[in-house]
Amino acid sequence: MRETSAVQALLRLMAWLSPAFPVGGFAYSGGLEAAVQSGHVSSAEALEDWLVTLLRCGSLRNDAVLLAEAYRSVEDDERLRAVTELAAALAGSAERHLEISRQGGAFLAAASAWPGAVPEVLGDGTAYSVAIGAVAASNGVGLAETLSAFLHAAVSQLVSAAIRLGVLGQSRGVTLLSRIEDVIADEAGRAASSSLDDLGSATLIADQMSLRHETQHSRLFLS
């Protein structure tokens, strides 16, 4: 791993997880669009509950666990290959698999501009969370900081999607991000000390919405 100053680490995280970083995150809602159309998420309060559930016991929690495992595996090709395969296998729907693999591949391509080497075992089909974990480790960026930035960016993307879907306005969206800050910090801390034994979810409705979105007739997002 390269040695990286605290300022460099912060700047890299800000760049990699910025909405402007070319991974196409704006095109995906992770099933949220179907949840809005089905009436499961119809207000700022319902959106907050949805996001907290994903963070505590859903896809965002699992993504954080996989990111941490990839981070710790960066110098062990066999272990890193195994977590890459596991992340792909855990995708609960075709759209979910497409989302994580396309974003992961785009992230690896764009992040290669930085001096830290991208592990050779990672390719275009790498899950987004695994790609971020491995690249952060290769660039000497701290795990706790990476997890916090990753979860915050994921939540921010979903809030942005909800704004475009008319669930809430921008001011309420900013307020929601401030309200959910402690949950993000708590879950990042938990993930930093997690293992693959901590994988698991209890978000049946969210999983169903991801599947339902595949056949949704009119939609703004790819997932």
**Where does the pLDDT of residue 15 fall: very low under 50, low under 70, confident under 90, or very high at 90 and above?**
very high
**pLDDT surpassing 90 at residue 116:** no
187 close to 60: Cβ distance less than 8 angstroms = yes
Lowest mean pLDDT across 33-42, 108-117, 213-222: 213-222
Compute the average pLDDT of residues 154-181: 97
Query: Residue 79 has what pLDDT?
Result: 97
CA distance 209 to 64: 21
Query: Residue 26 has what pLDDT?
Result: 92
CA distance 106 to 97: 14
Query: Residue 216 has what pLDDT?
Result: 78
Burial 207-217 (b: 16+ CB within 10 A, else e): bbbbebbeebe
What residue ranges define each of the domains in the chain, with the CATH number in brackets? 6-13+29-209 (1.10.4190.10)
Lowest mean pLDDT across 30-34, 111-115, 216-220: 216-220
One-letter identity of residue 91: A
Query: Residue 103 has what pLDDT?
Result: 96
Query: Residue 33 has what pLDDT?
Result: 93
Compute the average pLDDT of residues 136-147: 96
The percent of residues above 70 in pLDDT, for the chain, comes to 99
Lowest mean pLDDT across 42-46, 93-97, 124-128: 93-97
Residue 201 carries which DSSP code? -
Tell me: the pLDDT tens digits for 2-14? 567 889 989 999 9
**pLDDT surpassing 60 at residue 1:** no
Whole-model pTM: value is: 0.94
Query: Residue 177 has what pLDDT?
Result: 97
Burial of 75 (0-12, 13-18, 19+ CB in 10 A): exposed
Compute the average pLDDT of residues 184-210: 92
Query: Residue 2 has what pLDDT?
Result: 56
**Where does the pLDDT of residue 204 fall: very low under 50, low under 70, confident under 90, or very high at 90 and above?**
confident
Report the SS3 class of residue 171: helix
Phi/psi zone of residue 218: left (φ > 0), alpha (ψ -120 to 50 degrees), beta?
Answer: beta
**pLDDT surpassing 80 at residue 39:** yes
**Matching residue, tokens 């698991």:** 200
One-letter identity of residue 173: G
Tokens of 146: 């990476």
Query: Residue 3 has what pLDDT?
Result: 65
